[in-house]
Structure 1
């Protein structure tokens, strides 16, 4: 029966030096139950969704049975966690291998919450149902928003309880990603591998994610620049929708430029650059407004690992890397400004646009306006529903914006259409996510979650059904907090 699922593995990562991973045995669970299957992802992978729901399919998704062609490993990597360097690795995950789709695309198929590995560092290697469902919701929301991301194929309840602060139901999520190569993967190879092993990793990353033919360019400087461009684009897209990753450690920054590891992440309601949701980010290192700079900091850590291959002379290598990294702010701002102009219906470029955009953000922060809903109100000319309507300075700003739109060739209707395409009607509001998780975890009721997922699947549709999901939570004296789920 398994062959009917459609797996087609070709595992290139295990052909890297053995220091980069550990072969592992499965840690079977007692009574797995499929609670969510992403049929759209299954179809995109060329898999039979119905076969995945049968006993053998669920056994694979639960880590009880290796799919044909799979070679389960735990990847080794390191990382700067809140600025402190640590040896890490897949402590509660396994990689079955790389599935090749009918379109010849290569995707990692990984299980998270699948049990202990050599990198578990005293942990049980398991995951709770709530955080795995959160990853499913968030990754699907990001995909629908058009932001590069890993995706979730399925969530399986293990039928076992795990101990955190209290007993919680266990679960495993099947994550699909272009790869799990991280900045931390390079840091690990640089710290504990040989130069040859590190160079093989760099060559592998080039081959897998970028053009292997770099022309006359320095291929390792080219690798750094391409990763930098992808991350500048990704983080700009996070900022544009108010997404806060929450744990931007170097082990959570991919070489592919995909969002990965949806731990203490959340979307911002009231606009404030200092917004932090993660319970462990007590200093605000990964606050919303800090994310672009942290991206640059992480890229610098990647550059450090590549120095031996950028140039034989270390000083020359450092200079070349610095010259490349100095372009990061330009790439980031270019992406962010392009997105912000679109959110305001602006097609062309004027130098004063930066002042116009920053003026709006300052008003939003001063009057505690909701980030997403403010742009929706501007799109549909419904500012009377926002705190800005009677705010000092807003009418002046609105006049400048109106004049700015009048100076471009496109019509007002064209501007509004551009805004509709770049201002989501809905985001996974924190209170809605918690509502869905509580129903699923506490009452085994997935209707709330399925309704939420349906609404989030078309964030730019602007339907009547989405309006209730755009509503803000009731005021609370307690700040919203997220947890890493480990």
Structure 2
């Protein structure tokens, strides 16, 4: 395996932990890698500009064929509850090169997803399909443009190899960038498979690296629980703001730093309905749009359970302390959800009675199958659209009252423009773009990325009011497609 340093400034603080938390492993070489996408702006932020004009270097490093000599590649161990059932997992097809120092002096994980077998691969081949890696690139960058905390995508490589799933696929490798790849499932792994001392070292590492402000606390683990709970609530509320459905909110897909991670069966809601679900494996709607905050609470309860021995030596006391924090979930979520929804309809000085505006609007939107994004876009632009909602007498009455409520607020439209995107990556457009991109035609893919980069630019003359083909959502299903 060829190694070289160039201008990488990598470290891997994770290997300072006990070896039970990871396995050292190098990426498996691929025969004929080709660069499909490279995120130049992100590379600049990561101090990797030396790659920008050298496709051979980009392809070599980000396919895993060349490993920086200051990298200590590892696969991380973790477990998780998948659809409520506990299982041992780990990085079965992803290898962490290390933490790259960015231009703002922060460190970001760089992980190669689809880069070969690891000790956690089980019966898997360690590879990924080009389509699924392109999908994650498109969705994660779209979420970034939507101002939602997320992992980022640095590059996609066509491996030149075949990957066997339900059919024969082209192989792909994604360079994923994140502040952390530690999940709630990592804490579950530590609880079940590590010694108490090793688990304590891990908790200390997490606090020191990500939440140093609580390191001197008299009760750091209760503060950690409270902090992670709040950032997870904030994240889910940001998903709700744009109609995003994660699709597989297992505990191994909940980052402890509050970033959206793992984009397998995700999708965006078109017609407003809290029961909307697109994932083919979510047969009972566990992770439906309107359930996401409830699942976040469930996952956080699991997280709290892992911390109990470190919250208090007396188990009953520990349970009471953890539960007192979890009991704050409902009010924190509700208050911040309303605050977010008020921003979508431009109420900048809300009163308790204004909650009725939100409740009534959502009820009318669901009743008339209104497009979620376009409804709020219409309100922002003070324009009607073709949805039946805008013909409804009840909605017209709501609209009149709402206009009276915000007419004297000069900041109303400003805050609406910041919170109501013009574009989302519509499901039918994403599928069409992916089908074309894997065959070498990236025009539609590029168009979506361009639109998303301008999704809050109301002063730019762009197409408005995207529509979905009739009947598309009724049959549309997403798949993990790894």
TM-score normalised according to structure 1 size = 0.95
Match of 2:437 among 431, 436, 440: 440
**Which secondary structure state, in structure 1, belongs to the residue aligned with residue 399 of structure 2?**
helix
Query: Is 2:249 aligned against 1:248?
Result: yes
Q: Measure how far apart 1:410 and its partner are.
A: 2.3
Partner residue in 2 for 1:70: 71
Q: Measure how far apart 1:421 and its partner are.
A: 1.5
Partner residue in 1 for 2:57: 56
Query: Is 2:207 aligned against 1:229?
Result: no
Partner residue in 1 for 2:162: 161
Q: Measure how far apart 1:467 and its partner are.
A: 1.7
Structure-2 separation of matches of 1:247 and 1:62:
27
Q: Is the 8 A contact 2:28 2:117 kept in 1?
A: yes
How do residues 335-484 of structure 1 correspond to structure 2 at under 5 angstroms? 335-406=336-407, 410-411=409-410, 414-441=411-438, 443-462=439-458, 466-467=462-463, 470-476=466-472, 478-484=474-480
Q: Is the 8 A contact 2:130 2:173 kept in 1?
A: yes
Partner residue in 2 for 1:9: 10
Partner residue in 2 for 1:98: 99
Q: Answer with 206-215 or 139-148: which moved more.
A: 206-215
Q: Measure how far apart 1:330 and its partner are.
A: 2.0
Structure-1 separation of matches of 2:288 and 2:434:
24
Structure-1 separation of matches of 2:459 and 2:434:
24
Q: Measure how far apart 1:454 and its partner are.
A: 1.0
Q: Is the 8 A contact 1:5 1:52 kept in 2?
A: no
Q: Is the 8 A contact 2:207 2:215 kept in 1?
A: no
| CA distance 1:29–1:202, shift in 2 (3 Å) | same
Structure 2 gap segments, 5+ residues each: none
Q: Measure how far apart 1:216 and its partner are.
A: 4.3
Structure-2 separation of matches of 1:264 and 1:5:
37
Q: Measure how far apart 1:439 and its partner are.
A: 0.8
Per-residue CA shift, 1:45-73, capped at 9, x if unaligned? Answer: 01126457432331110011211311111
Q: Answer with 449-458 or 207-216: which moved more.
A: 207-216
Per-residue CA shift, 1:250-292, capped at 9, x if unaligned? Answer: 0000000000001100110000000001111111100000000
Structure-2 separation of matches of 1:360 and 1:61:
47
Structure 1 gap segments, 5+ residues each: none
Q: Measure how far apart 1:465 and its partner are.
A: 5.4
**Which secondary structure state, in structure 2, belongs to the residue aligned with residue 148 of structure 1?**
coil
**Which secondary structure state, in structure 2, belongs to the residue aligned with residue 130 of structure 1?**
helix
Q: Answer with 207-216 or 137-146: which moved more.
A: 207-216
Q: Measure how far apart 1:403 and its partner are.
A: 3.0
**Which secondary structure state, in structure 2, belongs to the residue aligned with residue 110 of structure 1?**
strand
**Which secondary structure state, in structure 2, belongs to the residue aligned with residue 201 of structure 1?**
helix
Q: Measure how far apart 1:2 and its partner are.
A: 8.4
- Could you say what the CA RMSD is over the residues aligned between the two structures, in angstroms? 1.8
How many pairs were matched up?
Answer: 481
